[in-house]
Structure 1
Amino acid sequence: MSNCLHLAIPAGDLNIAKTFYCDVLGCKTGNSEQGRWIDIDFWGNELTLHQSVERLPTVRHDVDMGAVAVPHFGIHLSENEFNALKQRIESAGLEYLDKPYRRFIGDEFEQETFFIEDPNGNVLEMKTMVNPEVLFKKS
């Protein structure tokens, strides 16, 4: 687990948040402190959900695909994992904050992305890249 990202966020009701992250997104739980926080294995990264009453404020920033919600976090998935996740989201009856969108078509950075909110309003961007090996390619 060296070089794994750790992110702690206000999650509202932990039971509701755990259902979203585990049952819908397909993550697993880790360590926890009852009623205070729970670690989620967010595709090999440590996402700590904190019991809270507050929500993070979001704003919209303009990018090529429109105005996206900031702050946000997410994960890059293989195309199969990405499509399976879209199916789980749709089967759960959840609505996209920003519907799936293909960007940079024909470019080496071509990708499909969508944004969703967790039950506490935290924004997640999920994406799949046609050529993931170019993500940090130096120009």
Structure 2
Amino acid sequence: MRNTNKVFHLAIPCKELDETVEFYEKLGCKLARRYYDRVTFDFFGDQVVCHLSPENIDEQPKMYPRHFGITFLDKDEYDQTLEFATSQELPFFKKPMVRFEGKQEEHMTFFLIDPANNLLEFKYYHDIDMVY
């Protein structure tokens, strides 16, 4: 596992700052900084920076290969996040499902889509050895 002295950083495009802030704050992410051309969030302990670049929006996003998200080590946290996303009426790209059912790598997952069509996956593996 990683040490707590490291924070993963991801930069993604956004098409409009206000709707981006609204989406990520509804998801529970803390707005850390805002400039005229980007916003930075605490995304579940890591850093996500949304750069204003409407010309770089994927108009037909697909789950694979481009998405990012959280792999929960605790099923209750996965369930709480799913419940929270539903209660906040966040847009689902893919409703909750089970992947690789019956196999060691079986996991529960769902995808959200942000206002710039970036896909966010949230998942939980029943077998912790499958996380990496």
TM-score by shorter chain over 0.5: yes
Q: Residues of 1 paired with 2:61 and 2:111: CA distance?
A: 14
CA, structure 1 residues 18+79, in 2 after alignment: closer, same or farther (shift >3 Å)? same
Counterpart of 1:125 in structure 2: which amino acid?
Answer: E
2:126 alignment counterpart: 130
1:52 alignment counterpart: 53
Q: Residues of 1 paired with 2:20 and 2:98: CA distance?
A: 28
Matched, 1:6 2:9: yes
Counterpart of 1:13 in structure 2: which amino acid?
Answer: E
From 102, 119, 122, the equivalent of 2:98 is: 102
Q: CA RMSD in A?
A: 2.1
Name stretches of at least 5 consecutive residues in structure 1 with no aligned partner.
61-67
Cα distance, 1:118 vs structure 2: 0.3
2:67 alignment counterpart: 72
Q: TM-score, normalised by structure 2?
A: 0.81
From 29, 32, 52, the equivalent of 2:31 is: 29
Matched, 1:41 2:42: yes
- How many residue pairs get aligned? The number is 127
Q: TM-score, normalised by structure 1?
A: 0.77
Cα distance, 1:2 vs structure 2: 4.1
Cα distance, 1:93 vs structure 2: 2.6
CA, structure 1 residues 56+3, in 2 after alignment: closer, same or farther (shift >3 Å)? farther
Name stretches of at least 5 consecutive residues in structure 2 with no aligned partner.
none
Q: Does the residue aligned with 1:85 lie in a helix, a strand or coil?
A: helix
Identity %: 31
1:83 alignment counterpart: 79
Cα distance, 1:87 vs structure 2: 1.6
Cα distance, 1:92 vs structure 2: 2.6
From 112, 117, 120, the equivalent of 2:113 is: 117
**Large movers: runs of 4+ above 6 Å:** none
Cα distance, 1:7 vs structure 2: 1.0
Q: Is the 8 A contact 1:69 1:123 kept in 2?
A: no
Greater strand content: 1
